[in-house]
Homo-oligomer: A and B are copies of this chain.
Amino acid sequence: MIYFNNDYSEGAHPKILEKLAETNMEQTSGYGEDKYCVMAAEKIKELCGNKDLDVHFLVGGTQTNLTVIAATLRTFQGVIGAETAHINVHETGAIEACGHKVLTLPSSDGKITAKQIDDYYQAHVNDESHEHTVCPKMVYISQPTELGTLYTKKELQEISEICRKNRLFLFLDGARLGYGLVAKGNDVTLQDIAECTDVFYIGGTKVGALFGEAVVIKNNYIKEDFRYVMKQKGGMLAKGRLLGIQFLTLFEDNLYMELSNHADRLADELREAFDAVKIPYLVENTTNQIFPILPDSVLDKLREKFTFSYMNRVDEEHSAVRFCTSWATQAESVTALTETLKAILA
């Protein structure tokens, strides 16, 4: 069985394991105050083009989202996101469990627009009984989105401007950020993101680390007491260096981009195969997740050799599914899939 069902089926890139082994018996301070965390943070700040940023390392995505949001919002404030936002759909109400409502905007491709945000905000402040509704105070976007799509630089800047105008914090979830940065047609850089947002995170779990997400904070209000919230929410790793070492390895020699590139190029290949036989998509994108709509009979045959995720039924005979490539996907696996597809459809 070949796994295309997600981008976290394997362990970590071998260089990471090597580095962990190499440093294993060193004695360091705990809780993220060791030299590796410092070095990794410095490297990330450098790549973001801003030495004034704060960088913290957390273990996983849901933990990161809830920690950032809880650190930022007061009890009566909520966070705006797409209906499809990970925090709205796939975190078992983690944000609500911290007391905050997720305020959803309709979206068919995982993205929301500056105009949608502004309209929502204006409707709120102009509502006579606004105190009877949750006060929007943060905007959550993902890059790439949960549907693999990407904001353009222009879209990101527009959202950023609207947020600043309306004093909304902007938070970007980069669980798969690498796969966005090197995607065909992408024009958004790490520096752009650091400039446009108040806080964002660079995902490691899905891009070659054993685990780990690097939170990058520009906003001073969020910076100030962030470590308290990390600890309170159970996100402060005792042996914090494990995170520092991994991110240092990912970023010191461009490994993060190389791994991302590997996945995206294989995804491009896969997309070409679908395109060649005119398969439509649930949503089109250029990153490492592909959402073809296929006949159920084809899916049944593919399931004999491959795993992938079921998205939803499209009509009586077709379903949308998801194939993921990753830093670990082998070229032969993609070839096997494209060949099998051709054979089935022939």
A90 touches B233 (CB 8 A): no
Which of A89, A92, A227, A232 neighbours the largest number of chain B CB atoms within 10 Å of its CB? A92
Query: Number of residues in A with C-beta < 8 Å to the partner?
Result: 76
Which of A74, A98, A232 neighbours the largest number of chain B CB atoms within 10 Å of its CB? A232
Residue of B nearest to A241 (CB): B11
How far in angstroms is the closest Cβ of chain B from A179? Answer: 15
B63 touches A231 (CB 8 A): no
B62 touches A236 (CB 8 A): yes
B231 touches A234 (CB 8 A): no
Residue of B nearest to A24 (CB): B11
Chain B residues with CB under 8 A of A97: 75-76, 98-99, 232-233
Q: Mark A232-272, 1 if CB is under 8 A from B, else 0.
A: 11111111011000000000000000000000000000000
How far in angstroms is the closest Cβ of chain B from A101? Answer: 4
Q: Mark A6-41, 1 if CB is under 8 A from B, else 0.
A: 101111101001001101111111110000000000
B89 touches A93 (CB 8 A): no
A62 touches B99 (CB 8 A): no
Residue of B nearest to A103 (CB): B93
A322 contacts partner chain B, Cβ-Cβ < 8 Å: no
A114 contacts partner chain B, Cβ-Cβ < 8 Å: no
Kindly identify, within residues 40 to 69 of chain A, every residue whose CB is under 8 Å from any CB belonging to chain B. 59-64, 66-67
Candidates B63, B90, B99, B231; contact of A99 at CB < 8 Å = B99
B133 touches A234 (CB 8 A): no
A27 touches B12 (CB 8 A): no
A205 contacts partner chain B, Cβ-Cβ < 8 Å: yes
Chain B residues with CB under 8 A of A70: 75
Identify the A interface with B (CB < 8 A).
1-3, 6, 8-12, 14, 17, 20-21, 23-31, 59-64, 66-67, 70-71, 74-76, 78, 89-94, 96-102, 129, 131-135, 205-206, 210-211, 225, 227-239, 241-242, 328
Given contacts A11-B24, A11-B241, A25-B328, 11 further A-B contacts (CB under 8 A): A1-B27, A2-B27, A10-B27, A71-B74, A76-B92, A92-B131, A92-B132, A92-B232, A93-B100, A96-B99, A132-B231
